[in-house]
Structure 1
Amino acid sequence: MALISGDPGRISRRSSVLRSVAIALVVVLVGSAIWSTVRLIDDLIHGGSETSSANALLLAGGSVWASTVLAFSLLYFELDSGGPAARAHHMPPTPALAFPQQLSPEVKAPHWRPRYIDYLYLGFTNSTALSPTDVMPLASWAKSVMALQSILSLMILGLVVARAVNVLA
């Protein structure tokens, strides 16, 4: 709401204040996803109400995993190539994340720019494959963030599935 009220209609202006607020909000979401993962792992280790039932555990684990995918996709969306407003005006010659359309110009539609769905797909595939699939991280921050997302996803998927199988058995 803060971002929409700062630039009603479309968030297309390159305001440093709006960009800072957007990044801060996304960092809070990522921090929340990390905290949720830590809490879930703590509950798995020390026993929690949702860890004694396979259904509750899979629901909690799925929620934490989905929030991690969404939070990291928003982080990629905000940080890559100066953010969405900057990408709308021009694409830098060296982006932080290289999409297939940038690596193979013959498959690129005219005036193609990565949109949120591209970053959501990146977040999803990074959380399921635990590595880059078709989007390559070029910048150090992108490699670090993708590694962090993969570690969180591995912990969520590995521990939740292992405990759920144990509860079911």
Structure 2
Amino acid sequence: MTRSRGDARLRHPRHGRRGEARLPAVLATLAAVLLYVALPQQLLVAPRYVLPALELLLLIPLIAVNPLRLTRQNRVSRVLSLTLVLLIGASNLVSLGILVHDLVTEGVEDGGQLLVAALQVWLTNIIVFGLAYWELDRGGPVSRTQAPRAELPLADFRFSQDENDDAVEEVADGASGSSDWVPTLPDYLYISVTNSTAFSPTDTMPLSTRAKLLMSIESIAALMTSLLVIARAVSILH
């Protein structure tokens, strides 16, 4: 039987969904917290458990508002979610700055520890920027699934699905216009991974100024980690 785009729209009613699952975002946040806790003492912004405790305190009410599915949002929960991402991101960038400073001014003998610390900072960078893109694009995860498409804020990113309506049928059936597709956290983590490895956009293009600024910061941080920190660590090991 031939499929039609109208049928695809009926099979995938975006506004009939219960909202995006909460668990992936919780796991990503906890992974970033654990990576920070495992950093060497000299790279910590504050006593080891102060920032992680604060981040968990911010996470708890967010889970309480949407324990399983992201379907509800108010001004307080929105501020808390953005504050949580900002706190994780700022502390990780400061840790990267301390790491680079120590390399330049003090010299580091333990290259193995440096490699591990650089990897932790790099992985946290991927997670936190993926969360930032997820929180900001089109009003955030609640807005993307609960608001009518005509009422969504302007998009920060243009995904390939947003352009596939005129492709072959098996591709077009999954396009934004045909199936009412919207991105979820894995899509934004993918953007973050590719931006941290290629140092530039790949198949998803930033549209807004804030998206371009965030991607620039992430690329610079990843470049510093890979070129300066890891290269220095390898030279120490040799």
Superposition TM-score, scaled by structure 2 size: 0.66
Matching residue of 2:116: 59
Moved more, 86-95 or 38-47: 86-95
Matching residue of 1:81: 138
Moved over 4 A (4+): none
Matching residue of 2:90: 31
Q: Deviations over 1:28-70 (max 9, x none)?
A: 111112111111111211236xx32222111010000000110
Alignment of 1:16-165 (within 5 A): 16-47=75-106, 51-89=108-146, 90-91=148-149, 92=152, 94-105=154-165, 106=167, 107=171, 109=174, 110-165=179-234
Deviation of 1:7 after TM superposition, in Å, equals 3.0
Q: Deviations over 1:91-119 (max 9, x none)?
A: 43741111111122333512321010000
Deviation of 1:18 after TM superposition, in Å, equals 0.9
Cα 1:93/1:67, change in 2 over 3 Å: closer
RMSD, matched Cα: 1.6
CA contact (8 A) 2:112 2:237 kept: no
Instruction: Write the distance in 2 (CA, Å) between the matches of 1:73 and 1:9.
Output: 20
Identity of aligned residues (%): 40
Cα 1:140/1:161, change in 2 over 3 Å: same
Superposition TM-score, scaled by structure 1 size: 0.91
Moved more, 123-132 or 39-48: 39-48
Q: Which amino acid aligns with 1:85?
A: V
Instruction: Write the distance in 1 (CA, Å) between the matches of 2:224 and 2:208.
Output: 25
CA contact (8 A) 2:157 2:208 kept: yes
Which residues of structure 2 form unaligned runs of 5+? 1-59
User: Which structure has the larger Rg?
Assistant: 2
Moved more, 107-116 or 132-141: 107-116
Which residues of structure 1 form unaligned runs of 5+? none
CA contact (8 A) 1:4 1:11 kept: no
Count of residue pairs brought into register by the alignment: 167
CA contact (8 A) 2:139 2:153 kept: no
Q: Which amino acid aligns with 2:101?
A: D
Matching residue of 2:67: 8
